[in-house]
Amino acid sequence: MIKVATFIVDRRNLFFLLFAIAIVFSVIAANWVKVEDQLSAYLPASFETRVGIDRMAEQFVTYGSAEVMVTNITYDTAKQIADEIEARDDVYMLTFDDTSSHYNNFSALYSITFRYPEDDERALEALESVKESLSDYDLYVSTSMGNATAETIEKEMQVVSVLVAIVVVSVLIFTSSTYAEVPVLLLTFGAGALLASGTNFLLGTISFVSDSVTIVLQLALSVDYAIIFCNRYKEEHEHLGIREADIVALSKSIPEIFSSSLTTIGGLIAMMFMQFGIGRDMAICLIKAIFLSLMAVFLLMPGLLMLFGPLMDRTKHKSFVPKISFVGKFDYHTRFFIAPLFVVIAVGAMLIQNHCPFVYGYSMIETPVKNEVQIADEMITESFGDSNFVALVVPAGDYEKERKLMARLESLPEVDHTQGLANTEAMGGYNLTDALTAREFSELMNVEYDTCQLLYLAYAVNDENYAKLLNGTAGYKVPLIDILMFLYREVEEGYVTLDDDLYETLSDANEKMQMAKDQLQGPDYSRMLVYLNLPEEGDETFAFLDRMHDIAGEFYDESQVLVAGESTSEYDLKKTFDRDNIVVSVVSILAVLVVLLFTFLSAGMPVLLILVIQGAIWVNFAFPALQHRNLFFMGYLIVSSIQMGANIDYAIVISGRYTEMRQIMDKKEAIVETLNFAFPTIITSGSMMVLAGAAIGRLTSDGTICGIGQCLSRGTIISIVLVMFVLPQILMVGERVIEKTSFKVSVPIKLDRGFGTVRVDGFVRGQVNGTVIGEMHAIVRGDVSAVVSMGQMVQLTEGDGPGEDGPAESGQSEAGRPESEQSEAGTVEEIPAGKEEA
């Protein structure tokens, strides 16, 4: 590690150049990242929602649509506006009447369908044109077209990022011991964040959740790494020069920081086992971000410390972080009371959080701020009620089955109405799919019967049921939509001639029928819209979706029936949560447990630490249950993983320091010293995570992101409280358990021996004309029998070393000598007799 650290520090200009190139590339590449806005896209491919979305995209055309509400107008004005909208060339259909479904409380609701598919830019342009024409009115628009929500989230997260940056700077200034360390830390954080953002394009497409919160969470999760290295550097710099302190600090920080990161990564790995793909998406983004943060700390920050080192020396100030000896004393005196009380609270919190009101859609979530889309939806719902519908997809080809199925569904109290080709009214009291004979069609269209017979005969030639004509044309029936569209094609090809009025009527009817067919009938499947008298989600709604499958199974092969919609999507999300909840909890605990086992070489210590953090998770999610506040399920899965992986670091810092202090102090002194040592690190990273989470939770309108921020902020506060006021008592009470479950293996220790004049560099435990335990950089005249770690001991020979005048001037380090004369840090050199250092 000494050699690696020396290379990094001495080649700092090379790393400055490499990071500069990488950052410029990342800024450019950030524009290449593709973002997926739909949560349903991350459902497993076998789930009904995904299959339904794929099948409908393949079989049907969905035209752009919008609900436009105009308030504070009379009915006459509303009717006039409806006529103006309907007359537009870019509007295919407008639904408006004098019922309370479309005019209520001096407000009008227009359901507009445009002539272009919803993914066509012309549909968005048409909507903007409609909005512009109504700009003089109070207007609210609800539509699924475009990316208005994604654009809103992006703007909100820009505000959050600025606020978090201010918070980070403020916290660093407050917790620093020298002002110049703040730019070092900020440059390190910034480099890691830019690299993480710019390399997301390598993942192809990422979710809007990952795109929004990764940078903020990266900062909160990896801030410890830079702070640990910086604190280690300042500690080494108390007795070493800038270069040597940088090298020694880096050599000691690499294994320490990497070990610390493993618990965080272990918690994130648990998210990769989720069925719901967004967990894997976030885990990969965050793990990549953490590795890039580690690279920034290990490769960039050493050079920054060399660059800012002199300024750090000149800008030292008194620490603003107070000593908290009173907390340690409180913990000591309450150790036999708090520990059992915590167990009771943890068990109670576990039972309460099992009743947390999880939801799987946004319809039942309240966010602190609302965007324009949410405000419009709420205003429309308040005036005209909520509308919930699903699409029922069945094999095509039998209009009669479709009619009977829709009639059966409409007879149920859970269904308001249905819409499909088989129950869409055409003209003369007929529906589009009603089968008519030639005479019935003749009477309907006011066309000569002989002409209609010839039309039917021409149609039959292309019909697979042509054999039916052998029994005569009188009983041969053709669905109205099919014969009308066939007639239009015959007219267009010049085989049939109609008068102008009839042709205009037929042309208009054909266009509407074609658009209806595009939306409701594909080559292999038909689609029916079922409007429900049920909320978007809930046990009753989910049970009825299953019942719809059973009813459709009476008419079709159930394996070919699909129900798609928001309700189905949320039902599928509920199914993934039931499994993912268990998997994430178990995997995150096991991953962290493995890391802690090899960190502490004890089975008892990891269990105690995990108990504290798991208790914090249970307490965290007991709050929504007690408040009866709906929580988006994904917030629980993601935050519980992050809380287990990241907040466990606080417990590691305290337990590791306490174990070390107990070797030389009694319990009371050890716990006081431990908390005074750990508090600056915990309050620095903890306050950043708390404030960053609070900013996300308070300033975003998206239910998923908002829930993650609120739960992360609250969970971190709870974790900090528990590791400061509960973990110490558990460590003191559980000392016997930790000792009994230790599996440290005693191995023979090789003692380095030297006689005469010896130079020693490294951590030493042994006898050097007396017992020495500590870091040593010295020339020894006499006998040395010691264990040397992080360095080595070398016998010196005659004719080498400094003169009798003694060591270099006070304050001069090896960094001040020419490179050719510098000794490797952590080595022992032979020095000739008579010229050894004093």
Which pLDDT value is given to residue 797? 60
Q: Which residue has the higher pLDDT, 820 or 519?
A: 519
Structure tokens at 662: 């107990």
Distance (Å, whole) CA 213 – CA 638: 12
* DSSP states along 420-459: -GGG-EEETTEETT-EE-HHHHHHHHT--HHHHHHHHHHH
**What is the 3-class SS of 355-374, one letter each residue?**
CCCEECCCCCCCCCCCCHHH
| Phi, psi (rounded to 5 degrees) for 763 | -85, 125
71: left (phi over 0), alpha (psi -120 to 50) or beta: beta
Contacts of 194 (CB under 8 A, 6+ apart): 23, 26, 27, 30
Are 388 and 534 contacting, i.e. CB atoms less than 8 angstroms apart? yes
Are 320 and 679 contacting, i.e. CB atoms less than 8 angstroms apart? no
For residue 558, count other CB atoms closer than 10 A to its CB. 12
For residue range 413-448, list pLDDT tens digits in order: 999 889 888 888 877 788 888 888 888 888 888 888
3-class secondary-structure state, position 62: coil
Structure tokens at 211: 């795109």
For residue range 184-216, list pLDDT tens digits in order: 998 998 899 899 988 998 888 888 888 887 887
Structure tokens at 275: 């069925």
Contacts of 382 (CB under 8 A, 6+ apart): none
Distance (Å, whole) CA 357 – CA 43: 22
For residue range 680-702, list pLDDT tens digits in order: 888 888 888 888 888 888 888 88
Give residue 807's pLDDT band: very low, low, confident or very high (50, 70, 90). Answer: very low
For residue 623, pLDDT beyond 80: yes
Distance (Å, whole) CA 492 – CA 450: 20
Give residue 818's pLDDT band: very low, low, confident or very high (50, 70, 90). Answer: very low
Are 547 and 540 contacting, i.e. CB atoms less than 8 angstroms apart? no
Mean pLDDT rounded to a whole number for the chain: 83
Distance (Å, whole) CA 318 – CA 244: 25
For residue 83, count other CB atoms closer than 10 A to its CB. 11
Averaged pLDDT, 719-748: 81
Structure tokens at 10: 């001495």
Distance (Å, whole) CA 255 – CA 603: 21
* DSSP states along 489-555: HHHHTTSS---HHHHHHHHHHHHHHHHHHHHHB-SSEEEEEEEESS-SSSHHHHHHHHHHHHHHTTT
Buried/exposed 469-480: b ≥16 CB within 10 Å, e otherwise: eeeebeebbbbb
The DSSP output letter for 203 is G
Are 74 and 68 contacting, i.e. CB atoms less than 8 angstroms apart? no
Distance (Å, whole) CA 424 – CA 589: 57
Which pLDDT value is given to residue 346? 92
What count of Cα atoms within 13 Å lies in the side-chain half-sphere of residue 747?
4
Are 414 and 741 contacting, i.e. CB atoms less than 8 angstroms apart? no
For residue range 81-94, list pLDDT tens digits in order: 999 998 898 888 88
Which pLDDT value is given to residue 72? 92
Q: Which residue has the tokens 């408006």?
A: 96
Q: Which residue has the tokens 């319990």?
A: 667
Q: Which residue has the tokens 């510098």?
A: 822
For residue 309, pLDDT beyond 50: yes
